[in-house]
Amino acid sequence: MNWLETMRSGLEAVRTHRLRSGLTVLGILIGIAAVMLTVGLGLGAQTTISAQVNALGSNLLIVTPGSSTSGGVRGGFGSASTLTQADATALADPTVAPDVQAVAPVVQRSEELLAGTTNWTTSVVGATPDWLSVRARTVSSGRFLAPQDVSDGGAVAVLGSSTAEQLFGRRDPVGQSVTINAVPFTVVGVLASAGSSAASNDDDQAVVPISTASARLVGGATAGSVQTIYVQARSADVVSAAYQEVDAELAALHKTTDPTSPDYTIATQQSLLSTANSIAKTLTVLLGGIAAISLLVGGIGVMNIMLVSVTERVREIGLRKALGATPRGIRRQFLVESSVLGLVGGLLGLALGIVGALLLPRVISNPVTISPAAAVGALAVAIGIGVAFGVYPASRAARLAPIDALRSE
């Protein structure tokens, strides 16, 4: 029996038992679709995380204060007031940190904004003009903060797009006045939308000069301190060098005696991204492993169906052998049948996975990424399952003695 006849015979056997073959294919179909969607959800999560981290700005280092202790209670990282505007000024000096392109110190607190009779509580960010480029933001209307605004302590504000909509609706906010902590501010610009995440909304904020925020909004003993210093390296290739320069300068300024426990923390985008992606990959492997169990069940279904098929066709196998069919030919025929079941299940599972990847984001608001490599791999796995779980039934059929097979009832 040549390959063409073997294929025809195998397809005919599958077509003859439609219901049985369909149930077998269903097990593989569900397994392939489940694995594709769980892996796709993991890849989509990694893509989302990368986009959110990159939205912080390009080639970014984030410097935060250390922890504070009050009344024997230790606060978490970032709770102290160990970073100052003087630190940011020192880091911006090209002779101190030649691989640093820009530095943006930030103070931030939640305040109520009033525009006429409309009020809205949001995050007020005290920043410098470099904040715009360091945070990779743009202005949709008006202008951003100017150096003169910072040096003069000007009462001007740039609103996020969501904040502007809440306070002014469809009116143009540029040139309007908002009151923050009983201080009237003139709106000079509106930031372009940057989107939001589960943790924060970058479109809901108001940016004011850091000198104004320190004097009129923060005040007190912590007026000169900053909550975060954003440092932008000149390029991705020198982020590591910029890190070393920033660390060395801060250690000198803060007179750090123990290098293992400084009163500040420096985080890079890569470290944030690596941590988040590591968590996403772990969850993807876990969910993919659970989904792969259904593939194992589908493979067992293929083996069961092929064993039943061998039992039902004992006389046919004996007759074929009596007419000259070789054990290799018999084995090949049953392997073709199991491979066809795996292939059909894989193709249908692939189609279901693609449809699910298109429809699921509308339901769960998370992207599902199906890569071509994953699709081809899923199809190969489906065929492999058909072949692997069809080997034992095919070998059992090939070992049947012709006389014993013909005698069976």
Q: What is the DSSP string of 306-327?
A: HHHHHHHTHHHHHHHHHTT--H
| pLDDT of 188 above 90 | yes
Tell me the range of 9-18, 136-145, 216-225, 349-358 where mean pLDDT is highest.
136-145
pLDDT reported for residue 394: 67
Q: How far is CA 10 from CA 6, 18, 21, 70, 321, in A?
A: 6, 13, 12, 78, 16
What's the pLDDT score for residue 30?
82
Higher pLDDT, 74 or 120: 120
Q: Whole-angstrom Cα distance, residue 116 to residue 167?
A: 9
Threshold 0.75, pTM exceeds = no
Q: What is the pLDDT of residue 78?
A: 44
What is the residue-wise DSSP string for 26-47?
HHHHHHHHHHHHHHHHHHHHHH
Q: What is the dihedral of CA 204, 127, 197, 137, to 10 degrees?
A: 90
Specify the amino acid at residue 148.
Answer: Q
Q: CB-based contacts of 169: which residues, under 8 Å, 6+ apart? A: none
Q: Is 270 exposed, middle or buried (0-12, 13-18, 19+ CB in 10 A)?
A: middle
**Strand duo 205-209 + 118-127: pairing:** parallel
Confidence of residue 70 (pLDDT cuts 50, 70, 90): very low
Query: What is d(CA 107, CA 78) in angstroms, rounded to the nearest whole number?
Result: 12
Mean pLDDT of 295-317: 70
pLDDT for 408 equals 56
pLDDT of residue 114: 94
Kindly state the tokens that stand for 181. Answer: 């902590």
Q: What do you get for the CA distance between the two ends of the chain, in Å?
A: 26
Other Cβ atoms within 10 Å of 79 Cβ, number: 16
Q: What is the mean pLDDT of residues 59-66?
A: 85
Q: Pick the closest to residue 334 from 314, 361, 352, 354 (CA basis).
A: 314
Give dist(CA 173, CA 179) in Å, integer.
13
Percent of the chain topping pLDDT 90:
26
Confidence tier at 402 by pLDDT (50, 70, 90): low
CB-hemisphere CA count at 13 Å for 333?
Answer: 25
Q: Which amino acid is present at 78?
A: G
183 φ, ψ to 5°? -110, 125
pLDDT in tens, 191-223: 998 876 545 678 999 999 999 998 888 765 566
Q: Which residue has the tokens 């054990």?
A: 327
Question: Which has more confidence, 130 or 58?
Answer: 130
Which residues have C-beta within 8 Å of that of residue 27, sequence separation ≥ 6? 294, 297, 298, 301, 302, 345
Which has the higher per-residue pLDDT, 156 or 219? 156
**What is the predicted pLDDT for the residue at 71?**
43
**153 burial level (CB within 10 Å; 0-12, 13-18, 19+):** middle
3-state secondary structure 342-395: HHHHHHHHHHHHHHHHHHHHHHHCCCCCCCHHHHHHHHHHHHHHHHHCCHHHHH
User: How far is the CA of 366 from the CAs of 54, 193, 198, 283, 375, in angstroms?
Assistant: 18, 20, 11, 15, 20
- What is the structure's pLDDT at 58? 59
Sketch the domain layout of the chain as residue ranges.
3-52+275-407, 100-235
- Of the two residues 246 and 59, the one the predictor is more confident about is 246
Give the orientation angle of helix 3-16 with respect to helix 18-54, to 10 degrees.
100
Q: For residue 157, what pLDDT band results from cuts at 50, 70 and 90?
A: very high
Lowest-pLDDT choice from 73-87, 211-225, 248-262 = 73-87
Banded model confidence at residue 139, pLDDT cuts 50, 70, 90: very high
Residue type, 294: S
Cα 143 to Cα 384: distance, rounded to the nearest angstrom: 61
CB atoms within 10 A of CB 192: 12
Q: By the 8 A CB rule, do 249 and 84 touch?
A: no
Radius of gyration of the chain (CA): 33
**How confident is the prediction for the chain on average, in pLDDT?**
79
- 3-class DSSP state for residue 78? coil
pLDDT given at position 47: 75
Among 4-13, 141-150, 176-185, 337-346, which stretch is predicted with the lowest mean pLDDT?
A: 4-13
- Rounded Cα distance between 125 and 144, Å, is 13
